[in-house]
């Protein structure tokens, strides 16, 4: 009786997880369903999948920056500036109301700040970037290839999905904003292949929005350019 070495069996299992056969599709469905149970479960499942499938971490954007300090500073500055541009210049062009009605319960309500901060740093910054950018880009890249049309699709598909999941809570304005932010973040990730800057920028973007809402500054900032 011939015994298959454990390493070979493990390698075969990992290869099937990375592929698009029954096991690979099952893994995709489980990861995609994770956030329906609790966020950011999908991102945690992505990390587990990456480890046991022997997928290089760099393929989901987990690349150590040359300078953590520079990455953190750039991410924070970019995220804050991007939020101001979206609020004052971009969203008015979409006809969005100056106030985000879905989060008005936050205004002056210090009791919800810890939960909101957790949501914006862990769920949005870590969870959404790992899932929508890192993992989806890796999966679609393996499926579509690296042609120009493929790369455009790889940016657009996660962006559209990212935008649509904001509809139930925030309506059409939330979809518009998420599409714009997803398109920018997705394009940056497609060019750099690095996720940590985007995690920081995403968290800074959302925390800036939280600051605007908490202090009742949304209308004032939304009318900075268009009165």
Domain ranges of the chain: 1-55, 57-222
CA distance 52 to 96: 44
Residue-wise pLDDT for 138-160, tens only, equals: 999 999 998 999 999 999 999 99
- Of the chain, the percentage scoring pLDDT greater than 90 comes to 93
Residue-wise pLDDT for 202-220, tens only, equals: 999 999 999 999 999 999 9
Helix (H) or strand (E) holding 101: none
Tokens of 21: 């056969």
Maximum distance among all Cα pairs of the chain, rounded to whole angstroms = 81
The band of 1, judged by pLDDT with boundaries at 50, 70 and 90, is: very low
CA distance 114 to 111: 7
CA distance 88 to 159: 22
Helix (H) or strand (E) holding 206: helix 196-214
126-158 in b/e burial notation, b at 16+ Cβ within 10 A? bbbbbbbbbbbbbbbbeeeeeeeeebebbbebb
Q: Average pLDDT, whole number, for the chain?
A: 94
pLDDT for the residue 8:
81
pTM beyond 0.85: yes
Mean pLDDT of the 20-37 span: 96
Choose among 182, 200, 206: nearest CA to 65: 200
pLDDT for the residue 226:
84
């Amino acid at each position: 009786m011939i015994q298959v070495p454990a390493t070979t069996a493990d390698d075969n299992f990992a290869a099937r997880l990375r592929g698009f056969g029954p096991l690979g599709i099952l893994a995709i469905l489980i990861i995609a369903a994770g956030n329906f149970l609790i966020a950011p479960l999908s991102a945690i499942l992505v990390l587990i999948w990456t480890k046991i499938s022997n997928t290089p971490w760099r393929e989901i954007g987990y690349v150590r920056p040359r300078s953590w300090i520079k990455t953190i500073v750039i991410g924070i500055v970019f995220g804050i500036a991007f939020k101001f541009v979206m609020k004052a210049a971009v969203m008015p062009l979409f006809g969005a109301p100056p106030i985000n009605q879905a989060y008005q319960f936050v205004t002056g309500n210090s009791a919800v700040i810890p939960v909101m901060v957790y949501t914006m740093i862990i769920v949005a910054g870590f969870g959404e970037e790992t899932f929508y950018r890192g993992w989806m880009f890796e999966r679609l890249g393996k499926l579509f290839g690296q042609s120009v049309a493929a790369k455009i699709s790889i940016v657009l598909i996660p962006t559209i999905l990212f935008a649509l999941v904001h509809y139930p809570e925030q309506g059409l304005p939330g979809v518009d904003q998420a599409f714009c932010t997803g398109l920018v973040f997705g394009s940056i990730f497609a060019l750099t292949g690095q996720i940590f800057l985007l995690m920081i920028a995403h968290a800074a973007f959302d925390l800036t929005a939280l600051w605007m809402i908490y202090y009742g500054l949304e209308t004032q900032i939304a009318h900075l350019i268009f009165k």
